[in-house]
A and B are shown apart, each in its own frame.
Chain A
């Protein structure tokens, strides 16, 4: 084939997508923002998969949104990098999306939400737990997951009451989320009379934690609290801690709530505690989600369920509003009151939807609900 012929063909192929989008103008566009590459790609992919499942389920159960043929998702990659996140937000603004589900890292959500807010685009985060996400008074910012200033006291209370801990060694990996939460846990633990022996830090992307673990071993605290961004470093740290013969009880947080954690850490994961929002896996809403998600994407992970609920909430509100006017959609979002897959969804004035942190324990490769702040041990 001659060169010219080839390039003409290539141009034709490249033009087709544009032609399609011109023909079917009645596509409802929504965006998602999460890390699809980089160290947190797995967690970000879970979010994207959750959103895709929600669109599929919504189209089946609630039918199309009046005035639109179909709903299309534009997944954007943030790489958990604030600059990339803002770039992704600008791209979504240019695509004229109605709403955005994302981002994953609090450090991405915070700057990108300001960009989206200027363009009056609704943003619902399924995963960013830092307080600042909804504390800045942005009118179009919503949150499906819990808040760190709810998670930290729950974790501290759990360590004090259920594990009778006196000394804690805290390690975080210096992201807005992980360090913020670690500081919160430290503050709450001290308030409850526990002794925070050391609060050390590691770097994102580290694989070798032997130096800090040797310190943990020498300090021999009751609790070794890991606040790390994502399950992957948590799994590595757990394996290395067990191998080094650290006997302190390991407690960690919501970012570790990923079945892959047990797959990588295997036996070392047994008996690890972590705090995560309570989700009842027996509800029909969860079952409906599970039915569609699992065959396509495998085991349900940390934020897929929240991403699913965020998307359902957004689509419900758009349908009820009957327009893409952000203020009307916001009004409808505030009126929402339904059972989601993860929890009962009802937004508060500041955009939060409440936290329900409980402690889970890893038993035989599964996360088992173990303790809740009000009632104590779960039978």
Chain B
């Protein structure tokens, strides 16, 4: 009797452990997605102190360009023969398209207001967000668009734990993009120009840094990262829809604030924390309160450390 009880206990413990690991993997994946989107918020804020509310829409647009490209390749039959090429091409096209879109949005909606009060630009950003999401709805329809590819659908199984290939792809791509971004910002001339513009636009202009070009570049990079996240979300969840940018946009914004807005590493960390807290809150306490947990953490951190975990950098490391 005692032995069976102990066995049952052991079995329960194993199931408990398995689901803990599974939840950890889920949390890292979701956190990676939030982190990629959060980078765009944080970079734009770092350079021009604008909370770009339209950022979530670049993410959605990226998802849509991805589904259009992949459907096109599937139609041509290239998907079976050259899957890696098709995927890379879709990523590049989506990232490029969203980068252009972001630069255009900046030129039309933000640049003319740069000298005005900050609230005006903020409202303009909200307007652009509504415009883009409804534009997506009108051009792409109200229905979900399914991703055609069956690529990467499988996964590794370790007992009861499943690690999807897509989860690995998301996490590794996020890591690569973060490293690349860090190198760009801290090791290159462009990065130095970005940091200079963030500190003082007038002064950097005096030393021949084209601040307009740098601001455009910041928008382009941020939107490109969001587009990459959009495709990954599309592949991971199997579909995209026109309003998909809203909720992740809010979460990623929270992640950026949590990590310390303006700070790249902070955005990554914030994204991971929000993703983890959400998954563990939903997994171990209650699914209906998962957003509540994410925002409780945000409020708690801001209460004790208003500049966020990593702090808003005001020295030369700010982007």
Contact = CB atoms under 8 A, between A and B. Distances in A.
B30 interface: yes
B124 interface: no
B182 interface: no
Given A41-B137, A244-B162, A210 B287 contact: no
B144 A232 contact: yes
Given A243-B153, A245-B162, A208 B30 contact: yes
Nearest to B291: A203
A22 B250 CA distance: 46
Interface of B is mostly: helix
Contacts of B288: 174, 200-203
A217 interface: yes
Size band of the interface chain B makes with A: 35 or more
A211 B26 CA distance: 7
B247 interface: yes
Contacts of A96: none
Given A41-B137, A214-B23, A235-B238, A207 B244 contact: yes
A214 B23 CA distance: 7
B162 A264 contact: no
Interface in A222-264: 232, 235-236, 239-240, 243-245, 260, 263-264
Contacts of A206: 247, 290
B241 interface: yes
A263 B146 contact: yes
Contact of B241 (A215, A232, A244, A265): A232
A205 interface: yes
Contacts of A232: 144, 239, 241
B102 to A, nearest CB: 23
A45 B142 contact: yes
B137 A171 contact: no
Interface in B275-289: 278-283, 286-288
B237 A42 contact: no
A239 B150 CA distance: 12
A260 B241 CA distance: 12
Given A207-B247, A232-B144, A260-B143, A214 B19 contact: yes
A218 B13 CA distance: 11
B279 A210 contact: yes
B287 A212 contact: yes
A37 B233 CA distance: 22
Contacts of B155: 243
A193 interface: no
Contact of B287 (A45, A200, A263, A264): A200
Nearest to B19: A218
Nearest to A243: B164
A232 B142 CA distance: 11
A171 B282 CA distance: 12
A266 interface: yes
Interface residues of A, number: 38
Interface in B1-35: 15-16, 18-19, 22-23, 26, 29-30
B142 A202 contact: no
Given A211-B287, A265-B238, A217 B22 contact: yes
A208 B237 contact: yes
A207 B247 CA distance: 9
A39 interface: yes
A244 B143 CA distance: 25
Contacts of B143: 42, 260
B157 interface: yes
B238 A210 contact: no
A207 B162 contact: no
A265 B237 CA distance: 9
A244 B156 CA distance: 10
A38 interface: yes
A210 B248 CA distance: 16
Interface in A145-161: none
Contacts of A240: 237
Given A208-B237, A243-B153, A215 B137 contact: no
A92 to B, nearest CB: 21
Given A236-B238, A243-B155, A245-B162, A211 B244 contact: no
Nearest to B233: A207
Given A38-B243, A210-B30, A214-B283, 4 more contacts: A205-B247, A218-B18, A239-B238, A266-B146
4 A-B pairs closest in CB distance: A211-B282, A210-B26, A201-B288, A41-B142
Interface of A: 36-39, 41-42, 44-45, 171, 174, 200-203, 205-208, 210-212, 214-215, 217-218, 232, 235-236, 239-240, 243-245, 260, 263-266
11 contacts: A41-B137, A45-B142, A174-B288, A201-B288, A205-B247, A211-B280, A211-B283, A214-B283, A218-B15, A236-B238, A239-B238
